[in-house]
Structures are given as C-alpha cells and as structure tokens.
C-alpha cells in the first residue's frame, strides 16, 4: 500500500505548504500519540535541528501529544541519531525529530524512532496515517499529557559518543576541522572531539535559524577543504544539518565520501576480527566499493536507497556495517541508526591505531567514475518510465557494454528524478548521463 504522507525518511516538504503546516503537525502529533503512546504515563521525546520553523512545529507536536494524553519531553536542538539514542535510554515510547536533514531552511520535516531507537516500520507509519484521517479528540483534562525539557540531553549524548572510542585510543596528535553545517551538531561534535584530546577547529557552528546547510556541511565541503589546507590539519569532518551524514577531508583537501569511509571501517573490522558477515550498501553505492570489498573476501549486498532499507537488510543478514555514499553510515555494533559523529570516530580510531592518514587509508578502494544528475519532476508523472527515457537508457547500457550501471529513481524526499551512470570511462559516463537526463527533462515538461 502506498503511503500518503510518509516518504523514505519521514514526512518532509516546504514550510507552510501541506503537509508541513502547523495545523497538520498538530494533528500528526495527536495521531502519533494515539498510535505510539499507549499506556499510562507514556512519554515521547521531541528534538529538532536549528531551522527557525522548528519552534513552531515543536509547539504543535507538544499540543497534539498532550491532547492524546502523552507526556512530551523536549530535547531542543539535537542530532537525529542522538534522539534515537535518548529514546532508548529514557525508556520512551518513541522519539520524534523535527528536521529536513540536508535540505535548506525553507524545508522541514518530521521523522520518528521507535522505543528501540529504530525507524518505524511501514505498518506503523500507515497506522499513523490512518489515525490522521480520524476526527481529533482531546483527553479529559485530568488525563492530558504534560511537557518538560530534558536539560542534560547534550551532555548525555556527548558521553555516549566518547564511549564508542576504545579507552586506550588518544586523539592528542590530531588536528581536526569540524564543519557542523550550522545545524544540530554545533554544540555536540566539537565537544566530543575536544574531550577526546583532539586539537579542534570549528566552522559552520553559528546557527541563526536560516543558515542551516548553506555553504557548509556534508553537502558542500568546499569551505571545509579550504580550512583544512589553511590550518594544515590532519583531517576535516563535515556533518549535515541533522548530524546523520558525514563526509571527511584528508590533509590534501580531498573528500572521502560515505562509500570510502564505510570501506575503511569494514576493512579495519575484518582485520580486528569483529566484522560479522559482510557490508550492506544501496543501489547508489559505487561499484568500486563492491569490487574492493570482494577482493578482501567481504560479502556485499545492495538495498533500496534510504538508510532505513540498509538497516532492514543488515538485520535480515545479521551484519553490523552498512551505509550510503551520501554519508549515512550505520555501525550496528555501536548504535541503531546512521550517525555522522559515531562514523567519523570509527574512522579516526582506525587512523590512530594504524598510524596512517586518511589519504593513505583511502588507497585501498578505487572509485569508478560516477555521475548523478537531478532533474526536477513530479513523482506522480513517473517520467522514468517514459518511452523515450527508456530508449535512452537502453542506448546507454549498450555503450557501457556490461562495464557499468545506469539507475533512474525518484527522490523520496524531493520532487526530483535522480539519473545515475557509472562506468570505467569518465567521459562516456558523463555523455550517457547527460543524454538520459535531457530525455527525463523533456518528459517532465510534457503536459
């Protein structure tokens, strides 16, 4: 069954446009309380990133949960994975995150974690959607939910992050630049690395409600690369607006994406004897990672795009490590969801234990040329199934001659169709990708 509101990562859109409106989020809070907050004294945690609209939606969720008779514990600005962790430690019924992740400040969204700190299954999301369609009711005044604020949330999560680093590992020799994307990690990530002994320089840590992800963070690493070179730092760490993605910059100013970081972590886990199976990537994961893992004898499987699907496959196979090239990296031996800070720490631990820089650690994997072009298109039109688009794909596949991949998929979070081409020859990849994207654009423009 197709869901009406939930996408691959919660409900997301432009603020003020349905469904990202105050009245809808009020109803969503009530519906979530009815479905998730069963039982006397039930509580749900609510955190957010640094968007100005977070204030409005925090209040709306709080009112909806209260009407449903559920206590609401507010965390304030916190990384998405921190809310997953704190939901477990506070024995809450669920955690709610107000964030649009890597999107600009004009967007926002709502995503949920279960009591176990995992994304909600489709069946529960459908139950919430069904409840939204019901008339909203309010509990008797004596049964209304209460609201409070958890003041030590940041400190608790900082200690958790530090606890994922072996006690004997010291970061005193490392000079690190951390880019917080003016987002939810601005008061978390620098403290984690400083308290572990690193020499930390911070950029993108002055949120004003309007600058989240703007020119900084995991989706735009140019400022970080420049700062790493300027400071002669050992590495740079770029997190996205809600802290569940990470990219890293080596001392030469080159970026290591999620595929490369996942490979480094998995190879070290194999060497240490705690890999436990193979690695889960997605349809978008670079072919070079698959080849490099297989050369080490490490199994590899591809899930649908989206960290929730990566995690589902990891659980099915009993594997510990998975992720996306976009920087969602899941280390199931440490946490329950994609966590930019935790993933960065795991790579830093490998650097310290091997006495190698990020530039050297990256050498074990050769990325295939890959290009992705995003084309604006209404998802409902299904332009990726247009006859001329399919013909362009067939021509491209013939040119690649089984030495590459072509993938078309609609974005689960934005009105875009993503055209991805991968192969051995950079110019051929570019030519094929541009040809297909052009046909998608023409198909999207049709009435």
Same domain for 323 and 301: yes
* Domain's final residue, options 329, 364, 399: 364
We report the CATH number of the domain holding residue 416 as: 3.30.310.50
The secondary structure of 223-274 as a DSSP string is: HHHHHHHHHT-SEEEEE-TTSS-EEEEETTS-EE-HHHHHHHHHHHHHHHT-
We report the CATH number of the domain holding residue 124 as: 3.40.120.10
Active-site residue, selected from the candidate residues 101, 303, 325, 326: 101
Same domain for 116 and 46: yes
40: pLDDT strictly greater than 80: no
Same domain for 282 and 341: yes
Same domain for 329 and 434: no
Cβ proximity of 154 and 75 under 8 Å? no
Same domain for 56 and 142: yes
Closest residue by Cα to residue 87 from 100, 98, 96: 96
Mean pLDDT score, 331-350: 97
Same domain for 214 and 235: yes
Mean pLDDT score, 429-439: 96
Give the pLDDT score at 381. Answer: 83
Same domain for 44 and 145: yes
Structural domain boundaries, residue 430: 370-445
* CA distance linking residue 2 with residue 102, whole number of Å: 25
Same domain for 130 and 15: yes
Give the pLDDT score at 81. Answer: 98
- pLDDT per position as a tens digit, 134-160: 999 999 999 999 999 999 999 999 999
Residue 223 lies in a domain: yes
Residue 164 lies in a domain: no
Same domain for 423 and 402: yes
Same domain for 314 and 302: yes
Q: With left for phi above 0 and alpha for psi between -120 and 50, is residue 132 left, alpha or beta?
A: alpha
Same domain for 146 and 100: yes
- pLDDT per position as a tens digit, 182-206: 999 999 999 999 999 999 999 999 9
Number of domains in the chain: 4
**Catalytic residue status for 101:** yes
Cβ proximity of 239 and 217 under 8 Å? yes
- pLDDT per position as a tens digit, 376-420: 998 778 899 999 999 999 999 999 988 889 999 888 777 899 999
Give 1's pLDDT tier (boundaries 50, 70, 90): low
2: pLDDT strictly greater than 80: no
* Domain's final residue, options 316, 337, 364: 364
Give the pLDDT score at 412. Answer: 72
- pLDDT per position as a tens digit, 349-374: 999 999 999 999 999 899 999 999 99
Mean pLDDT score, 310-327: 96
Give the pLDDT score at 447. Answer: 56
446: pLDDT strictly greater than 90: no
* Domain's final residue, options 233, 255, 277: 255
43, β-bridge pairs: 71
Cβ proximity of 49 and 184 under 8 Å? yes
């Amino acid at each position: 069954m197709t869901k009406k509101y939930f996408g691959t990562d919660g409900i997301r859109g432009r603020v003020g446009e349905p469904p990202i409106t105050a009245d809808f989020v009020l109803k969503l809070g009530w519906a979530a309380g009815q479905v998730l907050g069963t039982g006397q004294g039930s509580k749900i945690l609510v955190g957010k990133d640094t968007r100005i609209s977070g204030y409005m939606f925090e209040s709306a969720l709080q009112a909806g949960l209260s009407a449903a008779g559920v206590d609401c514990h507010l965390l304030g600005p916190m990384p998405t994975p921190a809310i997953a962790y704190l939901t477990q430690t506070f024995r809450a019924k669920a955690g709610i995150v107000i964030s649009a992740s890597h999107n600009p400040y004009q967007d926002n969204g709502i995503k949920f974690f279960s009591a176990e700190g995992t994304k909600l299954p489709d069946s529960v999301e459908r139950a919430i959607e069904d409840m939204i369609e019901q008339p909203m009711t309010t509990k008797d005044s004596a049964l209304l939910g209460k609201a409070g604020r958890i003041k030590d949330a940041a400190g608790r999560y900082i200690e958790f992050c530090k606890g994922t680093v072996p006690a004997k590992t010291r970061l005193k020799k490392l000079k690190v630049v951390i880019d917080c994307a003016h987002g939810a990690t601005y008061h978390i990530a620098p403290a984690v690395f400083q308290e572990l002994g690193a020499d930390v320089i911070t950029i993108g840590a002055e949120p004003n409600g309007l600058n989240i992800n703007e020119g900084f963070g995991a989706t735009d690493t140019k400022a970080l690369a420049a700062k790493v070179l300027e400071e002669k730092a050992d590495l740079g760490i770029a997190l996205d607006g809600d802290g569940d993605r990470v990219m890293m910059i080596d001392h030469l100013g080159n970026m290591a994406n999620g595929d490369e970081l996942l490979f480094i972590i998995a190879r070290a886990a194999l060497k240490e004897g705690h890999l436990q199976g193979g690695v889960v990537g997605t349809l978008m994961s670079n072919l070079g990672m698959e080849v490099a893992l297989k050369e080490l004898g490490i199994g590899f499987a591809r899930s649908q795009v989206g960290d929730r699907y990566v995690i589902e496959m990891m659980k099915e196979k009993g594997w510990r490590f998975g992720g996306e090239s976009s920087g969602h990296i899941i280390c199931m031996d440490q946490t329950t969801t994609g966590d930019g800070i935790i993933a960065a720490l795991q790579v830093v631990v490998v650097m310290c234990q091997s006495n190698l820089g990020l530039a050297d650690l990256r050498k074990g994997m050769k990325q295939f040329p890959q290009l992705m072009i995003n084309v604006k298109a209404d998802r409902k039109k299904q332009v990726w199934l247009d006859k001329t688009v399919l013909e362009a794909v067939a021509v491209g596949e013939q040119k690649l001659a089984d030495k590459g991949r072509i993938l078309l998929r609609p974005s689960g979070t934005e009105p875009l169709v993503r055209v991805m081409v991968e192969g051995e020859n950079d110019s051929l990849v570019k030519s094929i990708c541009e040809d297909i994207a052009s046909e998608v654009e023409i198909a999207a423009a049709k009435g």
